[in-house]
Structure 1
Amino acid sequence: MSKADVVLGCFYGDEGKGKVIDYLAADADIAVRATGGDNAGHTIKTNGVKYAMHLIPSGILSGHTVGVIGNGVVLNPEVLLKEIDNLVSHGYEIKNHLKISEKAHIILPYHSMLDLALEKARKNLKIGTTGKGIGPAYCDKYERSGLRAEDLYSDDFREKLTALVEHKKALVEFYDPENEDAKKLLDPEKIYEQYTAYAEKLKPYVCDTVTYLHKAMEENKKIVVEGAQATLLDIDFGSYPYVTSSNPTIGGIITGTGMSSADMGNVYGVIKAYSSRVGAGPFVTELLDETGDRIRELGHEYGTTTGRPRRCGWLDLVTLKYAKRVNGLTALAVNHLDTIGQFDRIKVCVAYDCDGKVTEDFSTNLKFLNSAKPVYREFDGNFGEISDCKTFEELPENAKAYIRFIEEYIGIPVKFIGTGAEREAMIVR
């Protein structure tokens, strides 16, 4: 039997996982998305076209890989159908290359309205949600009132939906009494008609993906699992409450696909050669100065989904060590080496100083993170033009020293090195 290789983000998302997935999918039979919703995105530039994939696994862009949306995903049918149409318009054959878990939970109009209402009610305690209904959809899943893909085809779908819409409408009005659109937009019959139309279009893709994946492994198919978001946004292991609503760590890969821990092969952790974060929450190495602004501009650090400018800072190896422990990482991918190489001097965080106590151990405790000060080690920059480098040996000495230090500190190899924006600008060791 084959095993599934996994690609995970190590920090706060937006590390460039899509580039590594794109490489691994070149000879993969199946690419799986296991968690999250359309609040995440993998961006791939291929044949001059930039694709921002929010739900469909980006591995499908290989042209032969089957994309699987696993049971751990919360699914917005409208967004998914737009992605399907976009791929078809660019010549991709989707009919036999997409499968959707019958167990995937469905995002409905009241989820996004409730998301925005709750965020508004939090006032100065806002989390920084994208407002796409992801959190409320997961709430329904665990409160056992959610609708799954298979429910769209059940005889009592209308009855279930009507009861839920009336209940959620009352919640929206409670949290946001000024919302004049709730009564008008949350019409059970209109939503029923809309979602039965979605269901008809999605019907060819909905199936038992758990059995499909296990049979694929029995047939020795190559599978790559695409992680969404990243470790420090994990609902359990991230900087709670400034996190997402699912488990984008290795545990979420298992529960979001139906594969077991024994089915996992290589686990690749993806980072940038610096750090970034979008939204609220602690960020120990954040640079609120010209250096942080320069990293943002050089790295084009604006959110794939929201367009929001990302907060930027130096690479944090304390966090990376934590990500290795939680996920069982076997190797690393370091992107944007060309970006950080444009600085004369580069800093790397190797420890935290928390009220005079220096530690290399990460904690998600907010008091600890808010008082922690980074302890840096400096490196020479000025890597020059490296996008044409095809091997590690071709890199300038300063760049090689930077990568080697990361390997030594974390204790696992750097297998992939991103040297530019194009999909070909990557060294594979």
Structure 2
Amino acid sequence: MANVVVVGAQWGDEGKGKIVDWLSEQADVVVRFQGGHNAGHTLVIGGTVYKLSLLPSGVVRPGKLSVIGNGVVLDPHALAGEVERLTGQGVSITRENLRVAENATLILSVHRELDALRESGSAGTKIGTTKRGIGPAYEDKVGRRAIRLMDLADLSSLPEKIERMLTHHNALRRGFGLDEFSADAIYEELASVAPKVLPYMDAVWRLLDDQRRAGKRILFEGAQGALLDVDHGTYPFVTSSNTVAGQAATGSGLGPGGVGYVLGIAKAYTTRVGEGPFPTELFDEVGELIGQKGKEFGVVTGRKRRCGWFDATLVRQTVSTSGIDGIALTKLDILDGFETIKIGVGYKLDGETIDYFPASQGAQARVEPIYEEIEGWSGSTAGARSWADLPAQAIKYVRRIEELIGAPVAVLSTSPERDDTILMKNPFEG
């Protein structure tokens, strides 16, 4: 049996929550390996809606172990709040079913404020972040001045670590003409939340190695999408972490040998939140209609998503950079009723035809999509649970996507409900 890594194959918001939850039924362990509480997963189970930001999707299922890996930047107050909210919905969260890496970097108020200052500043620094401190926390991690979860277990050592961190942040505050942060206030911010989060702390690398050796099935759950990867995405309009499948190993401590089947999640069209290039974006009534039918608003922020046609060139690229073995195609039902559907199959750049998305920011802004038109379908795909339930043209659309991206569609999702899913290949069976 293979362990499974689930990654977004576009710019995030592809419907990973439902797919991860659906797969977690077969998993013993579900691991979050990067990102922070800027990424939202919505799960609909038996008519109950669960909105998760930090907690792995497996947490709503009894008998599953959920793990937050070292690759995640952790806002301890956000974690405590999310645990409290889900507990209020009847979900039991204890050390038995949740562990958090002891070496996970913490997000503090200094990070949130710096994030907001940059986003509200000059146009040159506006990336379209959620202002939740994710990027600045990753900066402190790389700058070797971060405070980590394990530091909360030894409060006597915190003042020295806080002073080291504030040497950097207060210099920035002075540059903005703002009051400096108080070391005492930061200490209180951390000391007050320590009892709420420390019960979940563990050496996650060792825990996962033990689980793997015991033959347990591990499901790795990514946040955002591969096109927001800090190296392989639409830089600088990206997130602050690696979102490709290789990060599952680094962000959990399990090692590349423990990572098996890579399942990429892609919508049957394309969406994007925030700033940055989007070659197949639609600015007309068709784009509006897709957004309305697909309820395209951010789970965490409520921000309206930009909508466009499926871009096969981009997804083919993420198939390569994440080593995707199969695709879970979601929201096919949103395209029901369109007379004609377009697929982006390449680009024009300065008069030349290219079959990849260039890395240069300037070139990314200049590319123009080349489209292939496909006849739409009048029948409904909503709630379909077998190929026989699908209109012939819908099947033709799926098959054409497979050809263009160079990967098979392993799973087809036809509604937010977990059971409205057509399975061609079980990722856990390699």
Superposition TM-score tier, normalisation by shorter sequence = over 0.9
Partner of 2:428: none
Give, in whole Å, the separation in 1 of the partners of 2:286 and 2:381: 21
Count of paired positions: 422
Partner of 1:321: 316
The answer to whether the Cα contact below 8 Å between 1:383 and 1:398 also exists between their aligned partners in 2 is no
The answer to whether the Cα contact below 8 Å between 1:37 and 1:55 also exists between their aligned partners in 2 is yes
Give, in whole Å, the separation in 2 of the partners of 1:145 and 1:342: 54
Question: 1:360 Cα shift?
Answer: 1.6
SS of equivalent to 1:213? helix
Mean Cα deviation higher: 363-372 or 343-352 = 363-372
Question: 1:45 Cα shift?
Answer: 1.3
Which one-letter code corresponds to 2:79 in the other structure?
Answer: L
Partner of 2:301: 306
Give, in whole Å, the separation in 2 of the partners of 1:173 and 1:24: 49
SS of equivalent to 1:384? coil
Give, in whole Å, the separation in 1 of the partners of 2:161 and 2:98: 27
Q: 1:223 aligns with which of 218, 227, 245?
A: 218
Partner of 1:159: 160
The answer to whether the Cα contact below 8 Å between 2:32 and 2:220 also exists between their aligned partners in 1 is yes
The Cα RMSD (Å) is 1.5
Given the two structures, how large is their TM-score scaled by the length of structure 1? 0.95
Mean Cα deviation higher: 253-262 or 97-106 = 253-262
Identity among equivalent positions (%) equals 40
The answer to whether the Cα contact below 8 Å between 1:338 and 1:383 also exists between their aligned partners in 2 is no
Partner of 1:107: 107
Mean Cα deviation higher: 268-277 or 198-207 = 198-207
Mean Cα deviation higher: 60-69 or 241-250 = 60-69
Q: 2:265 aligns with which of 255, 263, 270?
A: 270
Mean Cα deviation higher: 13-22 or 79-88 = 79-88
Mean Cα deviation higher: 86-95 or 141-150 = 86-95
Question: 1:379 Cα shift?
Answer: 1.2
The correspondence of residues 16-415 of structure 1 with structure 2, limited to 5 A, is 16-95=15-94, 96-154=96-154, 155-165=156-166, 167-175=168-176, 177=177, 182=179, 186-415=181-410
Which one-letter code corresponds to 2:91 in the other structure?
Answer: Y
Give, in whole Å, the separation in 1 of the partners of 2:144 and 2:167: 17
Query: Would the alpha carbon gap of residues 304 and 173 (structure 1) be closer, same or farther in structure 2, given more than 3 Å must change?
Result: farther
The answer to whether the Cα contact below 8 Å between 2:152 and 2:194 also exists between their aligned partners in 1 is yes
Give, in whole Å, the separation in 2 of the partners of 1:187 and 1:316: 48
The runs of at least 4 aligned residues of structure 1 exceeding 6 Å deviation read none
Question: 1:6 Cα shift?
Answer: 0.5
Cα deviation digits, residues 275-307 of structure 1 (max 9, x gap): 000000010001111111111111111111211
The answer to whether the Cα contact below 8 Å between 1:75 and 1:105 also exists between their aligned partners in 2 is yes
Question: 1:263 Cα shift?
Answer: 1.4
Mean Cα deviation higher: 158-167 or 69-78 = 158-167
Cα deviation digits, residues 121-160 of structure 1 (max 9, x gap): 3335411111111111000000000011111112311332
Question: 1:368 Cα shift?
Answer: 1.9
SS of equivalent to 1:156? helix
Question: 1:356 Cα shift?
Answer: 2.0
Question: 1:166 Cα shift?
Answer: 5.9
Gapped runs of 5+ residues in structure 1?
none
SS of equivalent to 1:257? coil
Cα deviation digits, residues 243-271 of structure 1 (max 9, x gap): 00000102221210112222111100001
The answer to whether the Cα contact below 8 Å between 2:5 and 2:262 also exists between their aligned partners in 1 is yes
The answer to whether the Cα contact below 8 Å between 2:145 and 2:164 also exists between their aligned partners in 1 is no
Mean Cα deviation higher: 377-386 or 301-310 = 377-386
SS of equivalent to 2:135? helix
The answer to whether the Cα contact below 8 Å between 2:248 and 2:259 also exists between their aligned partners in 1 is no
Which one-letter code corresponds to 1:217 in the other structure?
Answer: R
Which one-letter code corresponds to 1:58 in the other structure?
Answer: S
Give, in whole Å, the separation in 1 of the partners of 2:135 and 2:303: 19
Cα deviation digits, residues 344-403 of structure 1 (max 9, x gap): 110001111112211222222222222211111111223422223211232110110001
SS of equivalent to 2:300? coil
Question: 1:118 Cα shift?
Answer: 2.1
Question: 1:317 Cα shift?
Answer: 0.3
Question: 1:188 Cα shift?
Answer: 2.5
Gapped runs of 5+ residues in structure 2?
425-430
SS of equivalent to 1:295? helix
SS of equivalent to 1:369? helix
